[in-house]
Amino acid sequence: MFFQSLRTQYSAGVFSRLRMPVGGVLVLLSLISTAAWAEPAPVKCAQALTAEQVRGTVGATLKVLALQTAEAGVTECTWSRTVGAESGGGPMIRVQFFERVAISANPVVSSPDGYYEMIASAAEEIAGRKREAVTGLTGAGNRAATVQGSVQILLLVQRADGIARVVLSGLTKAQATAFARAIAGA
């Protein structure tokens, strides 16, 4: 009985100090519950290359192993059939999407055209091969190129909202071209 009267006195003291209107409490609770159930914002790399586009091009279901934000305006997605895909266990697609905000914040090259050239030139130097332009892209200002490495293909796609840098393992050049068209048309 002592605890019940103490609890009642304590509760009365706490509630008497609260001066928030009932409407304010309801709004606060509604915001908390909405935030708890809200879906996370879509990751740009997964929007640039969707599961349906991957399935349509590769013909197999690849699982997104990683979705992450590397820095503000840069997202990374890794699509793979198996965890060991990087070591030859199956196809692997790694997409890095650089939004315009990230490109403009770059201290070296801050224009989309310059950023595209910087990535493409570095890939050419590393691979020891020249890039090959992908033709037949939709959308004004879109462009794409592939650079064939010894075991991987680098695909670079520039579109109005940013640049996609895609590293492909275990896939063909025709599949890389299909991905370029899918990303450019997105």
**Which residue bears the tokens 């309801």?**
26
User: Against a cut of 0.75, is the pTM above it?
Assistant: no
pLDDT digits 0-9 by tens, 125-152 = 999 999 999 998 877 789 999 999 999 9
- What amino acid is encoded at 72 in this protein? A
Greatest alpha-carbon span in the chain: 86
- Contacts of residue 168, defined as CB under 8 A and 6 or more positions apart, other chains included, come to 91, 92, 93, 152, 153, 154, 155, 175, 176, 179
d(C-alpha 134, C-alpha 155), whole Å: 9
Decide: helix, strand or coil at residue 147: strand
Q: How confident is the model over 73-117, as pLDDT tens digits?
A: 998 988 887 544 444 567 889 999 999 999 999 999 999 999 999
Closest CA to 120 of 129, 128, 131, 104: 131
Count of beta carbons in the 10 Å neighbourhood of residue 96 = 19
